[in-house]
A = this chain, B = another copy of it.
Amino acid sequence: MTLLHRARSGKLPEEVARAAAEEGIAPEKLRESIAAGRAVIPRNRKRRDIRPVAIGEGLRVKINANVGTSRDRADISAELEKTRVAVAAGADAVMDLSTGGPIDEIRRAILAECPVPVGTVPVYQAAADAASRGKSWVELSPDDFFDGILKQAEDGVDFMTVHCGVTRDALSRLVREGRRLDIVSRGGSLLAEWMEFNGLENPFFEHYDRLLDICREYDITVSLGDGLRPGCLADATDRAQVHELMTLGELTERAWKRDVQVMIEGPGHVPLHQIAANVQLQKRLCHGAPFYVLGPLVTDIAPGYDHITSAIGGAIAAWNGADFLCYVTPSEHLRLPSVEDVRTGVIASRIAAHAADIARGIPGAMERDNRMADARRRLDWKAQIELSLDPETARGMRSGSLPTVDEAVCTMCADLCAIKTSQKAIRRG
C-alpha cells in the first residue's frame, strides 16, 4: 500500500508522524493534507532510512538541489561531494540529473549515502542507455523509456520528473502562438523531438497508467514536469505553458485515483508581476497539489547571478503558495555548477524559502530572526555567527576585518556603532 493509500485509510503512518514532529504541527493535520493530495512525502518503498520530508500546504517551504554529470563533465566524486555539500547547507532533497559517464553508478552512489529524498528525470536514463548502444533517443521505443523508469524505480529513487504534459496538442499550440525560446527543458525537448520524428503521441501521456503502475508499486512520488516551461520572460505564462498545466491537472487526479502522490513542476523565467498568477493558476488547475518551481528567474540578463534572480522569484512564488523551490546556482546558463556554486545556490534558496515561511505565517518561522535580533542587541558576535544561515561565511567575513579598538563593534561603524549609541540614548526605567 502506498503512503497516500495509508494516509487515506485514516491510520497515521509512521513517516507522517515523524515529518509532522519535524514541522512542529499536528500529525493528524499533515495526514489530512497528504490524504487530500495537498502535501506529499516522497519516499520509494525501497529506501527506508531517509529523513521524511513533507512538502505542501501549511508546511515550511522546502528546497531541492540538482546535482549530476553531463557528457562534458562526468566526475562521480565531484557529484557526490556536491550532494554532501548541498545536504550540509540545508537542501531538503537532491535530484541527480546525471546525463554523462556511468550514470547508473552515480545514481546508486548518491542514493546510498543521501539522507534526504532523491529525485531523477528518468528520460535521461533512456537517452543515455540509447547513446551507449550508439543510438539516438528518437529511435527508442515506449518500452525503452519505461525500462529506464523501472531501472531507476528499482534503485530506490523517491520522486521522478516525467514530462507527461508535453502533448501533440500543447506543442501545436506552442508553434501557433510562437515563442522566443521554444523548449528549454531537456526532457521536454527530447520528448518533443521523439514525437516529431516518430509522428506519435508522448509515450508518458499515452501510457500514463503504465507510469502510475510503477509509481504505485514502488511508492514513488510523480513530479509532473513542465517540459514547456518558459525559458525567457517573453515566453512566460503563454498558451503552451497553460495548456500543459491543464493537462497536468487532469493527470494529477488520475494519479490520486491510483494512490500515487503527485507534485507539479512550474516555471522557470517569469516576470515578477506574473508569479502570483502562476501559483494561483497551478493551485486551482491542479486542485491543490504541491507546486515545485524552478526559480522563477525574474530577469534573463544576469548569468553569473541567477541564484539571486531566482531567490527573488522563489521568495515571491513561495509566499504566494509554491511549496518546493528548486535551487538555481550562479552557474546557470553558463556551465555545470562547481561544488561552491552548489553551496551558494542552496543558501540563496534557503533565504527565499525562509523569507516566504515568515510571510506565510508558518508558526515559529521568525524565531531564529528574533534570536538574531537579540544577539545583535547584545553585540554577542558568537551568537550572531551561530545563528547565521551560513556561519562559516559570516565568520570568515568578520574575522577578515576585525575591529581594532573596541572588539564589541564591527569595522563598518566602529565608534559610531548605532547599537551602542542607542543603548545610551534610550534609558529604560
Interface residues of chain A, those whose CB is within 8 Å of chain B, are 70-73, 99-100, 124, 127, 131, 171, 174-175, 180-186, 188-190, 192-193, 195-196, 231-235, 271-273, 298-305, 307-309, 311-312, 315-316, 319, 330-338, 347-348, 351-352, 354-356, 358-359, 366, 368-370, 372-374, 376-377, 384-385, 387-390, 393-394, 396-398, 400-401, 403-405, 409-419, 421-428
How far is A413 from B333 in the complex, measured between Cα atoms in Å?
A: 10
Q: What CA separation (Å) do A419 and B187 show in the bound complex?
A: 11
Bound complex: CA A400 to CA B196 (Å): 36
Given contacts A175-B428, A414-B72, contact A301 B368 (CB under 8 A): yes
A227 to B127, CA, bound (A): 60
Residues of B within 8 A of A131 (CB): 415
Task: Give min CB distance, A231 to chain B, whole Å.
Answer: 7
Complex: chain B residue closest to A427, CB-CB: B196
A175 to chain B, nearest CB (A): 6
Report whether over half of chain A's contact residues are helix, strand or loop; otherwise say mixed.
helix
Say whether, besides A374-B180, A393-B304, A426-B192, A369 and B232 are in contact (CB < 8 Å): yes
A369 touches B73 (CB 8 A): no
Partner of A171, one of B311, B369, B426: B426
Residues in B neighbouring A273, C-beta threshold 8 A:
319, 358-359
Q: State the Cβ distance, A137 to closest chain B Cβ, in Å.
A: 9
CB distance from A229 to the nearest CB of B (A): 10
Asked whether A312 lies within 8 Å of B397 as measured between CB atoms, the reply is no
Most buried by B among A193, A304, A358, A385: A304
Residues A315 and B298 in contact in the complex (CB < 8 Å), given A384-B303, A397-B304, A414-B71: yes
Query: Is B359 in contact with A183, judged by CB distance below 8 angstroms?
Result: no
Complex-state Cα separation, A416 to B419, whole angstroms? 54
- Give 4 new A-B contacts, CB below 8 A, not counting A72-B404, A300-B369, A305-B348: A180-B377, A196-B427, A300-B373, A301-B388
CB closest residue in chain B, given A374: B180
